[in-house]
Structure 1
């Protein structure tokens, strides 16, 4: 009889933990969307990626590489709510979803216990090569190569921006910041790439104000710069002293977050943008789907893929 009590307690604790984990991971899967282009599974240098090509592709069109923090290319499609494919149909550009080496990118954080780091995989070179291959295959413009990244995919996009500014003409990231000095293995080139950032002020994984990063106390990733310091780093490279801030309209959908857009610009236009999502978490704002509840709020006041494509200058063809 007395042995049954501890077993009952253990069982109850297990059920409680399972319920808590279920609540933490609860999100909203993106609904299926109607697209008219062609999605295909491809391979480059022995690594899998997905490519989406719209039915109408004008000569000199652009390409967006979409990097996710997940292990598989399909997660990048779902994690962005298939939004880039919709935008590709509307605006006429190619989308590629590269798959990280053995499930994780070799970004520039020094503390990074992943196979790509242990085996010396040069993901910056791989992504630059993939972009060149897509440009050659589809007759794209080498001056219209862009990268969008979320979470560790965003960390990888930032590494590409500082190491290979010759290979990319713009980068947009959500829930990512540059590593702090001493935690950065990237080779920085003193050349500017336009950068757009989206960061939540209560992100539990990538703190808006910087500092030590880990996976909820496990697997430390070292120190990161704050979102503001990351934006100011790129603004300094761009010699863009003009700074302004403005709030975006509230969504009015029971959404308690507020988005403030900070811009650093030169006479030719914005070079760095930071969307500060007040009350937002480790999220990729998009209208179709929602990330795990335990990672914090996802604002409805911003569509990150649209903001990125606007920032990149990927507009719908005139007359469409």
Structure 2
């Protein structure tokens, strides 16, 4: 699979004819910030809300294609999915070294997400206690920022091919409060090093250093006050030809937010074939609110 740093950047949007795509924006501190979604069914009642966040250089429309399977599943389970656009295709996430305009201008991402939550609350009466975010690469870093700085607004987060910034590369002020977190990282990722280190994008763009995946897992587990080792599970290798296999490490206890690492052995800066990462995120999200997620009949 090709590098998906700017996942879906040049992909066209394809969805069933019945879906009505809505493109809208809200003004945040002088900037119109755009987002996209499919108009929810009239059967929706206080739906859950999921934000799907694109990687550096991407856009929300591209992620609509990447998350097609999850969108179908979500629409059948009273869940509205929204695809925001970063500021000039990037997010003001927590990496101090990021040269993106969003970071240099310190655009107010928290206000953007609070504004979108209010937008969907007013128009579709979303369940505000059931708001989630899943992001890929730079979008994974933005998802971390939401978990670090807005845990009261998000029930659970999923970050894909992204590790937390190292302490000397962190420019967010963490709340210190726990949130349910799932991390999906590849051991052979040349951009987001599994064992931590320097992140370099194309054209020698230096994004600074990140922690290892195990340190990232430990950070969220420590916030939730887990002790000892996580439970381990090897997932079914449904595509032996892709050279990847997945191990799941889970911290889970009654009364605590679940914290999970999916270690994609042989995975690079891409999605594994053995699972659909967005459907996996959806299952993780629904589990946090006690809802099961049967596999769609046409899958």
Q: TM-score, normalised by structure 1?
A: 0.80
Structure 2 residue corresponding to 1:278, chosen from 260, 265, 270: 265
- Please name the residue that 2:20 is paired with: 38
Counterparts of 1:316 and 1:259, CA distance in 2: 20
Q: Name the SS of the counterpart of 1:160 in structure 2.
A: helix
- Please name the residue that 1:13 is paired with: none
2:184 maps to 1:198: yes
Residues 259 and 239 of structure 1, relative CA distance in 2, 3 Å threshold? same
- Please name the residue that 1:136 is paired with: 122
Counterparts of 2:110 and 2:19, CA distance in 1: 28
Contact residue 147 and residue 171 of structure 1 kept, 8 A: yes
Aligned pairs (5 A) from 1:197-216: 197-215=183-201
2:71 maps to 1:91: no
Residues 35 and 226 of structure 1, relative CA distance in 2, 3 Å threshold? farther
2:151 maps to 1:165: yes
Contact residue 204 and residue 216 of structure 1 kept, 8 A: no
Counterparts of 1:232 and 1:35, CA distance in 2: 44
- Please name the residue that 2:245 is paired with: 258
Q: Name the SS of the counterpart of 1:63 in structure 2.
A: strand
2:217 maps to 1:231: yes
Name stretches of at least 5 consecutive residues in structure 1 with no aligned partner. Answer: 1-20, 286-298
Counterparts of 2:62 and 2:102, CA distance in 1: 19
2:38 maps to 1:65: no
- Please name the residue that 1:8 is paired with: none
Name stretches of at least 5 consecutive residues in structure 2 with no aligned partner. Answer: none
- Please name the residue that 1:293 is paired with: none
Residues 38 and 150 of structure 1, relative CA distance in 2, 3 Å threshold? same
- Please name the residue that 2:141 is paired with: 155
Cα RMSD of the aligned pairs, angstroms, is 2.5
Counterparts of 1:141 and 1:31, CA distance in 2: 27
Contact residue 283 and residue 293 of structure 2 kept, 8 A: no
Aligned length: 279
Contact residue 224 and residue 257 of structure 2 kept, 8 A: no
Residues 315 and 33 of structure 1, relative CA distance in 2, 3 Å threshold? farther
Contact residue 40 and residue 80 of structure 2 kept, 8 A: yes
- Please name the residue that 2:35 is paired with: 49
- Please name the residue that 2:62 is paired with: 75
- Determine which structure has more spread, i.e. the larger CA radius of gyration: 1
Q: Deviations over 1:134-182 (max 9, x none)?
A: 1221011110000010010110110111011111111011111110001
Residues 240 and 135 of structure 1, relative CA distance in 2, 3 Å threshold? farther
- Please name the residue that 2:281 is paired with: 308
Counterparts of 1:101 and 1:57, CA distance in 2: 33
Q: Name the SS of the counterpart of 1:173 in structure 2.
A: strand
Deviation, structure 1 residue 56: 4.6
Residues 136 and 171 of structure 1, relative CA distance in 2, 3 Å threshold? same
